[in-house]
Amino acid sequence: MGIFNLFGKKDVASDLTKSSPYKVTTELIPYKLFAKKSSNATLRISIKNMTNEVLLTSVVAELPNNLAFEQMGISRQRELRLGEIAPDEEKETRLDVFSGLNTDNGEYTVTLTAMAHYRDYGHILNAVKKRVTIQVV
């Protein structure tokens, strides 16, 4: 770290890895899916940058078996590249979640991972995971 001070650069990575860089909030509209028939709901994901730096951001959403991101029921993982988020800025994105004929009653857990990247989307500085429960009736 002393070498960074010599050239006038600051070490931003150490500050970003100490605490949570994002606040992730979600909302499901409508608040439930239906079992044993085709239905869909929109998962609204809101990401807020809680740091003092501009962050290159992406979100990975993973669904359990019997739910999917399209009506065919094949895609269970989706990556959304949100671009740069300024300090205290909030970006919102939406994903459609589908149930099908093989979806049983119960609660299903969706895993959301918001990642802060360095330079490009191949390098990860820090990540925040959030689990969201979807009710199927």
Are 47 and 116 in contact by the 8 Å Cβ rule? The answer is no
Q: Which of 106, 97, 110, 111 is nearest to 136 (CA)?
A: 106
- CA distances to 39, 43, 73, 84, 90 from 103, rounded to whole Å, are 10, 18, 10, 37, 33
The 10s digit of each residue's pLDDT in 52-83 is: 999 999 999 999 999 999 999 899 999 999 99
Query: Which of 11-20, 27-36, 61-70 comes out lowest in average pLDDT?
Result: 11-20
Q: Which domains does the chain have, with CATH numbers?
A: 15-136 (2.60.40.10)
Q: Which of 42, 10, 13, 18 is nearest to 29 (CA)?
A: 42
As a whole number of angstroms, the distance between CA 95 and CA 34 comes to 17
Are 136 and 103 in contact by the 8 Å Cβ rule? The answer is yes
Structure tokens at 69: 């991101």
What's the average model confidence in pLDDT over 122-126? 93
pLDDT for residue 14? 59
pLDDT for residue 19? 81
Look at the block and give the residue holding tokens 């740091």.
Answer: 51
Strand order in the sheet with 55-62: 32-33, 124-136, 106-117, 55-62, 77-85
